[in-house]
Amino acid sequence: MNRIVYFIVIVSFLDTFVQLPIITPFSISLGASHLLTGAIVAIYSLTNMLGNVVGGHWIDNFGRKKMLLYGMIGVTIMLCFYPFAQTGVHLLIIRFLHGLFGGILIPAAFAYIGDLTDNKARGRTMAFTGASIGTSAIVGPAIGGIMAARASYESVFLFIAGLFIVTIILLVKYIEESFSSSERTKVQAKDFIPLLKNPLLMQASLAAFALMVSNGTLAFALPLKVEVLNMTSQTTGMLLSIFGIVALIVFLTPLNRMYDHFSSMSLVLTGICFIGLSLFILNYLTTFPVSIAAMIIYGFGFALIFPSMNQIVSEASTKVDRGKAYGIFYAFFSLGVVAGSAVSGFVSEMLGSPFIVSALIMLTIAFIIFVILKAQKQPA
């Protein structure tokens, strides 16, 4: 696998993670109301879903490299527009378009990786890809927060735009198209229908939805839990880093051999159960050491799920429909991001137990996946 592909994945996800700590205060600094700020935060994920699905067909129709290139150029242009935003409405429009272009990038990158990876090594390759994303998740928020504090919000977006320009140059110079023009003549938009009926793809998509619901719950409810325990926001950042570090350890050490030794579906189901357990513990935790243990369990569950579900998507598709498959999969991913925060906010307001509800959602989805497995007589 070309190492530049992993760099592309890091930069593509860095685009999302670097904005997490700054997009809300940036919106407020432009005079946006709390309602408009919520829309500015959410619109990126919503249009990302549209970009995932529509872009999925284009990835199959025009090729992986071309759509990666167009997506990166589009994202770079949008990043350069952020410093010119004068009102919350301006920022909303920029985020709308940014989400569309960003929605093309990730399915294109994973379709490319799926094309080039041998079946026997696919699990470990997806683990290294997960490590790339984990790296972005750990360093992205830190970069965004530090640069915004020491320079300005605008400087963050220009810095990421610069990274994208470097990545575009590397893409053009070193990445070869993995999907030939003769193969692309077989691509049809109606291929979406059998993909939507594919039980493997649906199970992977449900797992992605569940994972991101849990992630959204963590982002919303963990700071509140930390505050109740009279700990600082710095503690929240440390706890979130712990789960990322645990996942990286699994991805980058000999532990990653398990992805090639155990079935992807069994790893997904086990990982969902680990995350469900972690959420239950977080709901009832009363001490800092217990919170660390909960995040270690969460990190291990995340590490089991992420490469495995991406591997399932790759194996459930062919070159002809792999772009669409990853488009559908990452649309569920984006939907989970939106649902996680929204459900957590609603549940917190009405019931006060977002961790418990999220854990129940995780276990319900695990049960649905298990039922589909048995109905299709697939090995767990």
360/275 same-domain check? yes
Assess if residue 181 is contained within a domain.
no
300/377 same-domain check? yes
Give the residue among 333, 366, 144, 143 at the shortest CA–CA distance from 266.
Answer: 366
pLDDT of residue 268: 95
Total count of domains within the chain: 2
348/236 same-domain check? yes
165/215 same-domain check? no
- Helices 288-316 and 322-350: crossing angle in degrees, nearest 10, is 150
Residue partners of 276: CB distance under 8 A and separation at least 6 = 359, 360, 362, 363, 366
Do 209 and 196 contact (CB within 8 A), yes or no? no
167/201 same-domain check? no
312/378 same-domain check? yes
Exposure string (b/e) for 159-184, b if CB count within 10 Å is 16 or more? bbbebbeebbeebeeebeebbeeeee
CATH number at residue 8: 1.20.1250.20
156/216 same-domain check? no
Assess if residue 182 is contained within a domain.
no
Assess if residue 152 is contained within a domain.
yes
Of 116, 150, 176, the one marking the end of a domain is: 176
Assess if residue 267 is contained within a domain.
yes
165/210 same-domain check? no
Domain span at residue 127 reads 1-176
241/286 same-domain check? yes
Assess if residue 183 is contained within a domain.
no
Assess if residue 8 is contained within a domain.
yes
207/150 same-domain check? no
Mind listing the pLDDT tens digit for each residue in 103-127?
999 899 988 888 887 766 677 788 8
- Burial of residue 241, with CB atoms counted within 10 A of its CB: 0-12 exposed, 13-18 middle, 19 or more buried: middle
Structure tokens at 355: 């961790």
63/202 same-domain check? no
pLDDT of residue 317: 86
pLDDT of residue 232: 63
Tell me which residues of the chain have a pLDDT lower than 50: none
Assess if residue 139 is contained within a domain.
yes
What is the Cα–Cα distance from 205 to 272, expressed in whole angstroms?
Answer: 13
Of 176, 209, 237, the one marking the end of a domain is: 176
pLDDT of residue 228: 75
Of 144, 176, 208, the one marking the end of a domain is: 176
| Amino acid at position 256, single letter | N
